[in-house]
Amino acid sequence: MSESMGKNTAGELERDTIEELIRTAVDQLAYSYAPYSNFKVGAALLAGDGRIFTGCNIENAAYTPSNCAERTAFFKAVSEGVRDFRAICIVGGKGGNPTGYVAPCGVCRQVMMEFCDPETFRIILAYGRENCRIFRLKDLMPEGFGPGDLNP
């Protein structure tokens, strides 16, 4: 596995954990519902307790009601009472074939800000099963607005 991390590190994530998240996210591509864009995305969200919650993108003919893979995974976890997260892996591409690194959209980044520590939460962007880039949430959401900003 090739790993490009820039100025940040994988932190406490073990190589085996990263590989498992990549495999799980790639497997989610098969469940994607993307009849309009044919751009399939899979996600694997690692909770603090070690459980992995999965997600895929779900499109809608009206577009606005569509849901990204990342938010699908977060909403599944939160709906089961989980609020502690360590990392998420995201993969995607046309026809379900990873064609490059797929970063989370702004809405997904904002959902991550709601539930994750920007200093420690890791976002793994994977290109298939072989290559990945790892970022901290604060690197992809600098000066982000989160729950702490609402405290007096």
Q: Does 80 qualify as catalytic in the annotation?
A: no
Place of tokens 């959902």: 111
Encoded amino acid at 92, one letter: G
* 90/43 Cα distance (integer angstroms): 5
Helix residue spans in 10-67 (DSSP H): 15-28
Amino acid 149 reads: D
Q: Which of 3, 12, 14, 70 is catalytic?
A: 70
The residues annotated with a catalytic role in the active site are: 70
